[in-house]
Amino acid sequence: MKRIPARFAVVLSASALALAACSSDSATEPETEATTDGPVTVQLLTHDSFALSEDVIAEFEDTSGIDIELVSGGDAGSMVAGAILAAGAPTADVMFGVDNTLITRALDEGVFEPYTSPEAESLRPDLADQTFDGLVTPIDFGDVCINIDDTWFEAEGIAPPTTLEDLADPTYSGLLVVQDPGTSSPGLAFLLSTVARYGDEWPDYWQRLKDNDVAVAGSWSDAYYGDFTFGGGGDRPIVVSYATSPPAEIVYAEGEPPETVSTSSMDDGCYRQIEYAGILAGSDNVEAAQQVVDWLLSVPVQEDIPLNMFVFPARADIPLPEVFTEFAGQVEDPEQLPADYVAENVEGLLTEWGSVMGR
C-alpha cells in the first residue's frame, strides 16, 4: 500500500524521489561502510509505497549520524524476490515492507538476521508475538476491506451490503469490482479472506461472485480510479480497498476538505496485512542497521505513519489522527491465515482461482 503511493496515487516526497532515482546504481554497488570522516550510510530497501515526512527522516539523520539511502524495490512482491536472490550478499542493509503474505518465503531463504529492538516492548499485544523468533519487527498494519460508495446507494435507495455473503446476492449483481490476486496485493488479500472464511468451499463462493457479474481489475488503481463510482466515475459502487481509504477523501481533498466522507468500509471479511522490517543478513552495517529498525518503531515514525502511508502504527501507545478515529474502519476481528500456509498454498490458490474465474 499509501500508502499514498499505489493506494491513493500520491507520490513520495521530493527527497525520497531523488533517493529512489539513484537506487538502481546503489543497488548494484552499495556504499554502506562507515568512515571516520563522515556519517554511516544505511541503505533501506523499501517497496514503492514507502513514505515518511522529510523532517522525520532529517531529524533521525541529524541526531544519529546515520544517512538513510532509500532503495526502491518496486512493489512488495518484486522487492522480496530481489532480496531472496541476493540473500547473504544483500544490496541494502535493512528491508521494510515485507508483509505477512510474503514473509515466510523470505525467512525460508535466510534473508534476515536476528535482531530484537528494545522498542518492541511497545508493540500492540496482538503484534508482539509476530516477530518470527526475532528475525523481523512489525512496523505497521492495515486491513483490506470492501469499500462502499454510500452516496451512490443512498441515491439509488438500495441498502448497501454488510457481509461477504451479501456480495453474492442478486441485489448487488454487477456492482462489485475486485483486483486480480495474481497482480494485486489487495486482490490477493481479498482472496485469502475468502479462503479463511469459507475453507475448502471458497471456490464455490467465487463461482457465486462470478455468476453475480463481479468485475476483475488488474490493480488497485484500475479498480478504484477506473471502475469504482466514487474514485473514478465508473459504474461499480463496491470495490476492494482498505479500511483507511475513506479518510483519504478528506486528507487529499482538493480545496476545502469535506466535513464527512462519501465512502465507508465494510467490517466483515477484512484481511489484515502486517508489514515488517528486518536487517538483511550479510549487511556490513549491522549496528547502524539496528538503529534504523529502532527508529522505524520509534514514536516519531509511528506517529508519522498514518497520514503518510495510510496504515495503522504497530506501537500500542500512538494516538491516531482524528480523521482516522472518525472515518477509518476499526476492524476488531479480521480474517487471517498462517504465514506458512499462505507460502505453501498461494500458487495453488491462484491457479484454482484462475480456473474458476476463467482467467
Q: What CATH number is associated with residue 92?
A: 3.40.190.10
Going by C-alpha positions, the residue among 26, 43, 159 that lies closest to residue 94 is: 43
Residue 35 vs residues 44, 196, 285: alpha-carbon distances, Å: 19, 51, 11
Tell me, yes or no, whether 164 and 113 share the same domain. no
Q: Is 4 part of a structural domain of the chain?
A: no
Residue 304 vs residues 48, 57, 106, 137, 318: alpha-carbon distances, Å: 17, 10, 27, 17, 10
The single-letter DSSP state of residue 89 is S
Tell me, yes or no, whether 209 and 340 share the same domain. yes
How many domains does the chain contain in total? 2
Joined grid coordinates for residue 105 = 518465503
Residue-range definition of the domain harbouring residue 168: 143-271+331-357
Joined grid coordinates for residue 255 = 480545496
Tell me, yes or no, whether 81 and 186 share the same domain. no
Tell me, yes or no, whether 19 and 70 share the same domain. yes
**What's the rounded Cα separation, in Å, for the pair 16 and 20?**
6
Q: Is 121 part of a structural domain of the chain?
A: yes
Q: Is residue 280 within a helix (H) or strand (E), and if so which, with residue range?
A: strand 271-280
Q: Is 299 part of a structural domain of the chain?
A: yes
| Start-end of H helices in the chain | 14-21, 23-28, 54-64, 76-85, 103-108, 150-156, 164-167, 185-198, 202-211, 220-222, 229-232, 245-251, 286-296, 299-309, 322-327, 339-357
What tens-digit pLDDT sequence spans the chain (359 residues)? Answer: 334 344 443 333 333 333 333 333 433 334 444 444 568 999 999 998 899 999 999 999 999 999 999 999 988 888 999 999 999 999 999 999 999 988 998 999 999 999 999 999 999 999 999 999 999 999 999 999 999 999 999 999 999 999 999 999 999 999 999 999 988 888 999 999 999 999 999 999 999 999 999 999 998 889 999 999 996 789 999 999 999 999 988 888 888 888 889 999 999 999 999 999 999 999 999 999 999 999 999 999 999 999 999 999 999 999 999 999 999 998 989 999 998 899 899 999 999 999 999 98
Q: Is 228 part of a structural domain of the chain?
A: yes
pLDDT of residue 33: 44
Decide: helix, strand or coil at residue 256.
coil
Residue 345 vs residues 131, 212, 314, 351: alpha-carbon distances, Å: 22, 27, 27, 10
Residue 236 bridge partners (DSSP): 228
